[in-house]
Structure 1
């Protein structure tokens, strides 16, 4: 078994364990231990730091993955690649840190007096956190290029989350102050960056001495140009993931931002199967482009869309119908104010999952530069809609803004792929799945409350599962489900 395959298996296991820990942390543990305002503040610090880290790195994480093969085995130090990878982003971080420091008065003006005072006390943490996130991301890219990914995945997916929840427990038990918790929260990212550097040293790949040879292997201008394109593409996604919480905190309060962050985390559970499928989809669609096999690409496009619709509808209904159960586990009634926002976000993420393969087709196509246009348009739309709707609708305005922007950009992408490449994934089976989902969801929703959240969960979940599965099989809406059932029957028969 090759190193790539071994690392892939390990990373898959680590990812699932990390997802489980992340769900427990963000849904069950942190909301119990921290107030909405405290969660809002830490989320805001991470959002500012993530954007600062992206700008500082100037796309060199992506550039590292793209250009390292030209440096590999150019001497023991790979032609001085690591100092080049880290050097310019570190200079960029110094510039970003200065801008963030000078811009502090302007940032504080966005928030209420009470929230601004709290943010002012911890503002420097966001700057330091940006540096830690940047260094961790760059070393992660370097390790990916070296085909050493498991340790980095463990640190980022498991260890980081355990350190954060450990800090929250220490605060809740009065072992540390809230200021100490914020420092520990940021320190967890620094620990990951330090451990990655130690790991590089252990495997003999921590080559920090700069060499002039690095500038001769690949022109610096070419790497900067690629990094700039990657920065613009990545920053759009970063803005999309972080701007909602930033603007909710500015337009309403940190407490509202904390509630919205929990609502976002709950709805994110819907995206897990989409992400897993899209990882496979990216490689296969890229291969179809290489072979110019539009027929196979079209069939694959339809199949992934159908599977995403099948899984997405079931998960969206399962989460939406049991929000009382989910918020009941938190034991803080104030977080339930995000229930409607969860439903709006679920609808938006479901539409994105159903149509989302179009983004993979665009980014792997000869017209890949247009993906930057789509991402930039999406980020701008989210900011503009948030500016308009949050003051009027509060948390629901932020969720609605996200939904409108996500639906609009996916409609545009789907139309572009259809018109430019002649591919569209929808047929009668998709309509049948949606109809079955609507019927099963209505029946499950109409069931009366039992007075016990666990019994209600089992009743609604059981009815939804039986009706949805039976409906899909009877209407022959998903051949993949029928094949899975036949395979299961054969195994049981043996």
Structure 2
């Protein structure tokens, strides 16, 4: 668990910094420097590009993680990495040709409700390519147990680029249209930097020789294309569907709420960069005992960190919107609660997703993802019509609660392992009691002072209880080590 905690800690710091920069962008710069319609347009374009990402990457970012550690020679590994660059082109080139001849039809369809989208439709495909190859090159470094720099580029670079472009917009050096083109260039540069770094870590000898298990890789990649597309639909389809029923400004309001709630996911995003290749390695060696240990440790540790983030966000959400000082955005209060709770539940699963995608049962991940995607699309279609953007959040919450519970039961049945213990119940009770106990606590000061005071109080009570109750040995050991170093 040492390398996991070490790189997870560094990745967490990067993610916190990234979310801080992203928070400044999303909550203040975008909301004050860019009109709501254009803000919603940027979110729509990038979200739709994310939906296409698994397809244009051909699932190779997952195949590299799964199979790289199973090869024993450099020749085999070079062959895998070479084909991780070739196979996406077999999707990108045909789609590009089709897109050229059907552009008018596609752009008219997705811009039926909001005509602003039409002129920028092609940007979706370009960003999807840049995002897809970024993930492929990032996977090259992850299998070398080197996830920190890639995580830095992924979480920091694009957000800093957006910050600079927003200030250029504020100073009238560029207009909103040029801002959108600038964002596209930022994603291209991010991919290029990741490529150069991946080559510096491990430079393969490019070859057209296929790996011995090429057919297996193709099958795995095809399933992961479908599973990844379905999983991405779950994350991004709401921001695609909202403009089909509501205005682009509603996408902006919804996205601010989603961004605030997604802070809860920081621990998982930090840890999975290193736990996924470790889980793949343990499964390749059929070491289920190690898989179970990591499964349980990741679950409780993620839940501890996610729990405090959930509390700090939802107990201060009213003050946060007051600081944003854009009353129209405050419609997202319920969105924050529903999405942050769904993220907390996902944290409790630990390495469940890594176990499914890297085991011989990886095909079932597709069926789970497909079921989740279909459910969230149907629920979005019904609930957005009935209760607007709150319906999109509710659709996500319902889908995650049902299907992730099924995933836990499935892993239990196939591997006879599950992530929970009695400490999990104790921790959930603690989170619930603190939420109820501090919900009505308010201070008669400036919203920022209120947030600081409540964060300090809640954190002291929460972490004192976690340590006293010995919820996690890993957590207690890390705290003890921290204080020992200071002495």
Deviation at 1:66, TM superposition (A): 5.7
Rounded Cα–Cα distance in structure 2 between residues aligned with 1:453 and 1:109: 44
Name the structure 2 match of 1:58. Answer: 58
1:290-338: CA deviation from partner (whole Å, max 9, x where unpaired): 6656556545544433333332222111100111232233332222111
| 206 and 126 in structure 1: CA distance in 2 versus 1, 3 angstrom threshold | farther
Deviation at 1:339, TM superposition (A): 1.2
Residue 242 in 1 paired to residue 236 in 2? Answer: yes
Name the structure 2 match of 1:48. Answer: 48
| 286 and 180 in structure 1: CA distance in 2 versus 1, 3 angstrom threshold | closer
Name the structure 2 match of 1:94. Answer: 93
Residue 348 of structure 2 aligns to a residue in which SS? helix
Of 448-457 and 312-321, the range deviating more from structure 2: 448-457
Name the structure 1 match of 2:450. Answer: 456
Residue 257 of structure 2 aligns to a residue in which SS? helix
For the 8 Å contact 1:449–1:456, the answer to whether it is kept is yes
Name the structure 2 match of 1:160. Answer: 158
Name the structure 1 match of 2:187. Answer: 189
| 78 and 282 in structure 1: CA distance in 2 versus 1, 3 angstrom threshold | closer
For the 8 Å contact 2:27–2:324, the answer to whether it is kept is yes
Name the structure 2 match of 1:119. Answer: 117
1:33-432 → structure 2 map (5 Å cutoff): 33-64=33-64, 82=82, 84-101=83-100, 102=102, 104-106=104-106, 108-109=108-109, 111=111, 113=113, 115=114, 117-141=115-139, 153-195=151-193, 214-215=208-209, 218=212, 221-279=215-273, 281-282=275-276, 285-286=279-280, 289=283, 297-298=291-292, 300-432=294-426
For the 8 Å contact 2:62–2:221, the answer to whether it is kept is yes
Deviation at 1:44, TM superposition (A): 1.1
TM-score, normalised with respect to structure 2: 0.84
Name the structure 1 match of 2:23. Answer: 23
Rounded Cα–Cα distance in structure 2 between residues aligned with 1:30 and 1:219: 48
For the 8 Å contact 1:49–1:130, the answer to whether it is kept is yes
| 266 and 99 in structure 1: CA distance in 2 versus 1, 3 angstrom threshold | farther
Residue 308 of structure 1 aligns to a residue in which SS? helix
For the 8 Å contact 1:68–1:145, the answer to whether it is kept is yes
| 304 and 155 in structure 1: CA distance in 2 versus 1, 3 angstrom threshold | closer
Rounded Cα–Cα distance in structure 2 between residues aligned with 1:358 and 1:490: 33
Deviation at 1:489, TM superposition (A): 6.4
1:254-309: CA deviation from partner (whole Å, max 9, x where unpaired): 11111111211111110112333444544555565466565565455444333333
Rounded Cα–Cα distance in structure 2 between residues aligned with 1:220 and 1:471: 52
TM-score, normalised with respect to structure 1: 0.83
Of 355-364 and 430-439, the range deviating more from structure 2: 355-364
1:239-266: CA deviation from partner (whole Å, max 9, x where unpaired): 2221110011212121111111121111
Unaligned segments of structure 1, at least 5 residues: none
Residue 362 of structure 2 aligns to a residue in which SS? coil
Q: 1:467 aligns with which of 461, 465, 468?
A: 461
Name the structure 1 match of 2:429. Answer: 435
Of 248-257 and 328-337, the range deviating more from structure 2: 328-337
Rounded Cα–Cα distance in structure 2 between residues aligned with 1:64 and 1:358: 19
1:67-87: CA deviation from partner (whole Å, max 9, x where unpaired): 678797559x957964x5444
Rounded Cα–Cα distance in structure 1 between residues aligned with 2:67 and 2:354: 22
1:402-452: CA deviation from partner (whole Å, max 9, x where unpaired): 011111111101222233333334343323222222222222112234142
For the 8 Å contact 1:93–1:131, the answer to whether it is kept is yes
For the 8 Å contact 1:50–1:130, the answer to whether it is kept is yes
Rounded Cα–Cα distance in structure 2 between residues aligned with 1:458 and 1:200: 41
Rounded Cα–Cα distance in structure 1 between residues aligned with 2:259 and 2:187: 20
Deviation at 1:167, TM superposition (A): 1.4
| 100 and 450 in structure 1: CA distance in 2 versus 1, 3 angstrom threshold | farther
Rounded Cα–Cα distance in structure 1 between residues aligned with 2:216 and 2:287: 31
| 196 and 350 in structure 1: CA distance in 2 versus 1, 3 angstrom threshold | closer
1:451-475: CA deviation from partner (whole Å, max 9, x where unpaired): 4212321332233233334444555
Deviation at 1:129, TM superposition (A): 2.5
For the 8 Å contact 1:286–1:364, the answer to whether it is kept is yes
Residue 366 of structure 1 aligns to a residue in which SS? coil
Rounded Cα–Cα distance in structure 2 between residues aligned with 1:143 and 1:471: 38
Rounded Cα–Cα distance in structure 1 between residues aligned with 2:462 and 2:32: 34
Residue 208 of structure 2 aligns to a residue in which SS? helix
For the 8 Å contact 1:52–1:96, the answer to whether it is kept is no
Structure with bigger gyration radius = 1
Rounded Cα–Cα distance in structure 1 between residues aligned with 2:482 and 2:198: 45
Question: Aligned-pair RMSD on alpha carbons?
Answer: 3.8
For the 8 Å contact 2:110–2:118, the answer to whether it is kept is no
Of 41-50 and 415-424, the range deviating more from structure 2: 415-424
Q: How many residues align?
A: 482
Rounded Cα–Cα distance in structure 2 between residues aligned with 1:193 and 1:481: 35
